[in-house]
Every structure is written in structure tokens, then in C-alpha cells.
A and B are shown apart, each in its own frame.
Chain A
Amino acid sequence: MSVAAETVILRRSGSGVNLARFAVYALLIVAAAVFLAPLVSMVFTSLKSMDEIRAGNLLSPPTAITLEAWQTAWNSACISVSCAGLKGYFLNSIRMVVPAVLISVGLGALNGYVLTKWRFRGDNLLFGAMMFGCFIPFQIVLIPMAFTLGKIGLAGTTAGLVLVHVLYGVCFTTLFFRNFYVAVPDELVKAARMDGAGFWQIFTRVLLPISWPIIVVSVIWQFTGIWNDFLFGASFAGGESQPITVALNNLVNTSTGVKLYNVDMAGAMITAAPTILIYLFLGRFFLRGLMAGAVKG
């Protein structure tokens, strides 16, 4: 139950309350409009023809909706010498993001489990040390990472890129799962142990089934971070396996020729679609997951 709910229930209803509620909605709607404006502008622009873009302004809705720009961006926009649009790069990103998310979330869950239910001397120190990894600026690791990937034979491969994302993602997922599992009563684990359950059985039968809120948080976090990455993608992917953000940058960030703003925006929307969809469908679980552990209030 919300804090405000509590206060509202206890309050006698009156005209002051109605005014207050009107103010709440007014503020929320204004804020929502401001937050949505950039997205709306992008969608509108992507649905206009170039003539209409030149004539109108940022927020003028398209008069004649055309999906041409979307088709071009997906199928036939020229990114350097190949004119096959973003679709190939979209698949590259999927190929990178799916294993990277699965592995980093899996590892994070196991780490969180060990750090809370199989505690050992210095576990908190180890955890703190891992945490610091969340905060490292990625630019400083580029060169040593490139060198390391070369040494282990993963330079220019999707596997190498997955490894990089797992490495810098595992810090976050460990944080999420640890904070979640810390709140799970140890008695549950003890009871399972009494029944003869081992390390893996406790994990899969006791903890995993109750972990879905934090799994959702971790998946959202990781998926968004990895999907949106540009720096690692541009530096560590081979030419054939570049992720979609690099391709979008190549499409948008060029400074010669006539700029097709509608195609740029459609490309941006296509690039953003998976993360937006994830927030749209899993967003409400995100808050529940945060409440369940990621934030300790």
C-alpha cells in the first residue's frame, strides 16, 4: 500500500482534496508531456516525407503518414558500401545481447547466492571489490581489453564482445541478486539442507523459484546496457558483426550529402524498439524488483 494511500484513507474528503488531486494530475500530465516530447517528435518525423519535415516544426504531426522511411531504414538504407538497411545489424545485436544477458544474469544469480547463503571469511570484502567494477569508466579499459581479447583469440568476434559485456555486467547483476537474496530468510536454506539438498538443489529449488522479480530487473538492466552500447561494439566487433548502434551511428552521424531526417529517425526508432518494448512490457515488474531488493529502503 502506498504511503499516500494511507494518508488519503485517513483524511476526510472535501473540496481541498479535489483541488489537490487536480493539481497532482495536472503536474503529472505536464511532466509526462515533457518527457514524451522527444519520442513523439522522433516518431512524427519518421512518418513524414522530407518535404513535410522542411515545412513543419518539431511537433507538428504528419499530415500524410508514410512508412517509407521505416522501410528504407530497415531494408535499403545505404550504410557505407552496403545498401541493405539495418536489418542485418539488428540480428548481430540479438546474437550478442542474448548470450551476454543470459550468462551475466546467470552468473550474477550464482554469485548472489554464494555471497549470501554460503558465506565465508572476507565475502563482504570480495563483494565490495566486485561492486567497484560497476563504476569503472569504460573508456579506460579499451586498450588493455583489446590486448587481452587478442591474446585469448577472441579479437573481432561476437564471443569476445559477449565476454566484455558479461565482465562489466556481472558486477551489476551480482549486486542485484545479492541484495535480493540477503533478504531471503536463512531458515529456508537451512531447512532445505536438513532435507539433504545440496548446493545446486538449494539454488534451483529454493531460491530460483522466488527470484523472478530480481531476474526481471537484471534482465532489463543488462539488456538495455548491452543493446545500447556503442563504444565496445565499435572497438571490438569485426566489420561483419557490428551491432546496430554502430550501424545507426554510421547512418546518422555522417556529414555529407542530403540528410534524410525521416530515415535517420526511423533508424533510431528501429534501434530503440527492443529496449522500449522491454520497458513497456516489463516496466511494472521493474519497480516490483527494485522494491524486492535492488534498493534497500
Chain B
Amino acid sequence: MAATERMAGRRRLANALPLFVLSPSLLMVTIGVYGFMLFSVILSFTSSKMFPRFVFTGFDQYERLFTNPRWGVAVQNIFIFGGLYIVFTTILGLGLAILIDQRIRAEGAFRTIFLYPMALSFIVTGVIWQWILNPGLGLERLVQSWGWESFSFKWLVDPQMAIYTVVIAGVWQVAGFVMALFLAGLRGINTEILSAARMDGAPTHKIYTRIIIPALRPVFLTAFVVEAHLAIKSYDLVVALTKGGPGFATELPSTFMYTTTFTRNEMGLGAASATVMLMTLAAIIIPYLYSELRHERRG
């Protein structure tokens, strides 16, 4: 009698313990992620300026947002920047991973070299990047001093081209990480299939295009999500390189949101832009999470 009671008590404890262990994280995430997101969404319907003020104005802030030319540029830029950033980090990451996977010497050294930019923030590397991209000081002068007098590299100061310099620095930072993802994926491919294909006399490039790259599909997806969310969150990259200039040619949604909220005291408008960003993120990530988790349950 007493024993069964104790058993039941223990089982109850055993059932409660896992949730109990999760609870601090759940509490933090509920408040710190969802609570604050909700807060931001609510603010976007108010006329808040410097501090939150709950005077509701409907969709006014969204109207102001979508008629704001700076936001227009920011949205256009996120497509240019995000698109190129994703494409180039993927190509470069995959390319480097394939090269490193060729049973080379000093693999560890190469990996570390490609990976290290991820360890540095743009607070650290911003100054050097400004130098490199600055026509008078950096790459242009360097190449000219090597004898190629007519070499010209003025993207940083060209409103049409400046956004591409942001892409270069961004790709430099993240390509190594994407390489690591692909390398891990490559090493996880079942080698028996490859041997079989090889036996059948398939040429190397066909093995890559027909077997290896299709087998990496899940890694492509992971890489895409990592890259997409980094692109949308990119902030210090732009601040370090161009501060949004020339003019506001390199404005991104994240810099728009920050400046609007904190420098221009337009918290309501900033919150509206944040809400748009959050919805975009959700549109990318929720289907990904859904497919990942559903896939798992089946398997």
C-alpha cells in the first residue's frame, strides 16, 4: 500500500521533472521572444515616439512606412543584398567544401582560415574593411602600386554599387561557416552509393551533379535558412562599412528600424518596420521548421 503510493508519487515526479527542467528556458523564451514580439506588434499600431505610448492609430504607421522612400530603398536592398549574399555564400561555401574534401594536405589549416572570419565581429573588422574598400587607401591604391595604374575600384562611394561592397564583406564573414556545413554534409554521405556509381563508370562531375549534390539537399536547406536569417538581421555590417550611405543607398530594413526607433524617435514607425521584418522571417522559418520536424516524426 505505502509502496504503491510511493511508486505513484515517484511516477508523478518523473513526469513533472522534464517539464520542470524545461521551464526556465520556456519562461525566458515566452517573455523574451514572444512577449517582446507581441509588444513590438502592438507598438506598431500606436503613435509612440520616444517611449511607448499606447495611443492607438490603426494602420497609420504602416501607411507611413510604405510611403517612406528610405524604406523603399531598404526593401529593394534586402532583395539585392539578401539574394546575392545567399547565392554567393552558398556557391563559395559549397565550392570550398568540395575543394577541401579532395583529401588535401593541411586540411585543418585551410578550414581554420576559411572559418575564422565568423569569429570576428564587424566592430573589430569594420575599420580594416573601410580601408580595403576605400578608393584612396585600400585595394585600389594597392593594385595601382603593383603597377596596374588604371585599376579602379570605387564601389564604396558609388550609390549604385555600394550595396555590393556590403555583399563582399558579408560573404567573406559567413562563407567559411557555410563551408563547414557542407563539409559535414559531404562527410555524411553514404560511400557505398558512390562506390557503386564509380564501378558503373560514371565520370567524377556526373557523380557530383547526379549523386552528391542531390544528397546534400537538406544541407542546402539548412544553409539557406542560416543565410536568410543572417541577411535579414545584418546590421553591424552596414554600419561598419557604409553607415547606410552614400545618401541612404545601402539602407537595410534592420538599419532603418534602428535609426527610426532610436535616432529619430519614431518608435511606432520603427515597430511597424520590425513587424514587417518579423513576418518575413516567419514566412521563411516556419515552413522550414514545420517540414524538418514533421519529417523527423515520420522517420
Q: Which of A's residues lie within 8 Å of B, judged by CB?
A: 1-8, 10-11, 21, 24-25, 27-28, 31-32, 34-39, 41-42, 45, 57-59, 107, 110-111, 113-115, 118, 120, 124, 126-145, 148, 164, 166-168, 170-171, 174, 182, 198-199, 224, 228-230, 245, 248-249, 252, 261, 264-265, 268, 271-272, 275-276, 278-280, 283-284, 286-287, 290-291, 294-297
Residues 101-131 of chain B, each 1 if its beta carbon lies under 8 Å from chain A, else 0: 1111000101111111111110111111101
Which residues of chain B are within 8 angstroms of A136 by Cβ–Cβ distance? Answer: 33, 36-37, 278, 281
Given contacts A3-B191, A35-B172, 8 further A-B contacts (CB under 8 A): A2-B101, A28-B100, A130-B29, A132-B285, A199-B18, A228-B121, A230-B121, A295-B184
Say whether chain A's binding surface is mostly helix, strand, loop, or mixed.
helix
Which residues of chain A are within 8 angstroms of B187 by Cβ–Cβ distance? Answer: 1-3, 291
Which residues 194-221 of B have a CB within 8 angstroms of A? 194-195, 198-199, 204, 207, 212, 215-216, 218-219
CB distance from A66 to the nearest CB of B (A): 19
A39–B102 Cα gap in the complex (Å)?
26
Q: Is the CB of B281 within 8 A of A135?
A: yes
Q: Is the CB of B191 within 8 A of A132?
A: no
A132–B279 Cα gap in the complex (Å)?
12
A58–B142 Cα gap in the complex (Å)?
7
Q: Is the CB of B218 within 8 A of A297?
A: yes
Q: Is the CB of A58 within 8 A of B26?
A: no
A42–B110 Cα gap in the complex (Å)?
20
Q: Which residue of A lies closest to B138 (CB)?
A: A58
Which residues of chain B are within 8 angstroms of A118 by Cβ–Cβ distance? Answer: 17-18
B242 close to A (CB within 8 Å)? no
Which residues of chain B are within 8 angstroms of A36 by Cβ–Cβ distance? Answer: 113
B183 close to A (CB within 8 Å)? yes
Interface centre among A4, A120, A278 (most CB of B within 10 A): A4
CB distance from A15 to the nearest CB of B (A): 16
A110–B290 Cα gap in the complex (Å)?
23
Say whether chain B's binding surface is mostly helix, strand, loop, or mixed.
helix
Q: Is the CB of A130 within 8 A of B25?
A: yes
The answer to whether residues A139 and B274 also contact, given A21-B102, A283-B112 and a CB cut-off of 8 A, is: yes
Segment with Cβ contacts to A, from B59-67, B80-88, B253-261: B253-261
A264–B124 Cα gap in the complex (Å)?
9
A286–B29 Cα gap in the complex (Å)?
26
Q: Is the CB of B29 within 8 A of A287?
A: no
A125–B151 Cα gap in the complex (Å)?
56
Q: Is the CB of B127 within 8 A of A268?
A: yes
Which residues of chain A are within 8 angstroms of B244 by Cβ–Cβ distance? Answer: none
B8 close to A (CB within 8 Å)? no
Q: Which residue of B lies closest to A114 (CB)?
A: B18
A21–B35 Cα gap in the complex (Å)?
55
Q: Is the CB of A6 within 8 A of B191?
A: yes
Q: Is the CB of B116 within 8 A of A39?
A: yes
Which residues of chain B are within 8 angstroms of A199 by Cβ–Cβ distance? Answer: 14, 17-18, 21
Q: Is the CB of B180 within 8 A of A135?
A: no
In this complex, the interface size class of chain B, counting residues with CB under 8 Å from chain A, is: 35 or more
Kindly identify which residue among B120, B172, B181, B289 contacts A131, using a CB–CB cutoff of 8 Å.
Answer: B289
Interface centre among B28, B34, B108, B191 (most CB of A within 10 A): B28
A291–B234 Cα gap in the complex (Å)?
27
The answer to whether residues A144 and B39 also contact, given A31-B114, A283-B111 and a CB cut-off of 8 A, is: yes
Q: Is the CB of A7 within 8 A of B198?
A: yes
Q: Is the CB of B25 within 8 A of A139?
A: no
- 30 A-B residue pairs with Cβ-Cβ distance under 8 Å, sorted by A, are A2-B101, A2-B103, A2-B187, A4-B101, A5-B101, A31-B114, A35-B172, A38-B129, A42-B125, A58-B141, A58-B142, A107-B24, A110-B22, A114-B18, A120-B19, A124-B297, A131-B289, A135-B233, A137-B278, A139-B261, A144-B39, A168-B32, A170-B25, A170-B29, A229-B121, A279-B119, A284-B108, A290-B184, A296-B218, A297-B185
Q: Which residue of A lies closest to B219 (CB)?
A: A297
Q: Which residue of A lies closest to B267 (CB)?
A: A143
A264–B126 Cα gap in the complex (Å)?
11
Q: Is the CB of B29 within 8 A of A129?
A: yes
Q: Is the CB of B115 within 8 A of A1?
A: no
Q: Which residue of B lies closest to A279 (CB)?
A: B119
Q: Which residue of A lies closest to B234 (CB)?
A: A137
Q: Which residue of A lies closest to B292 (CB)?
A: A296
A13–B80 Cα gap in the complex (Å)?
45
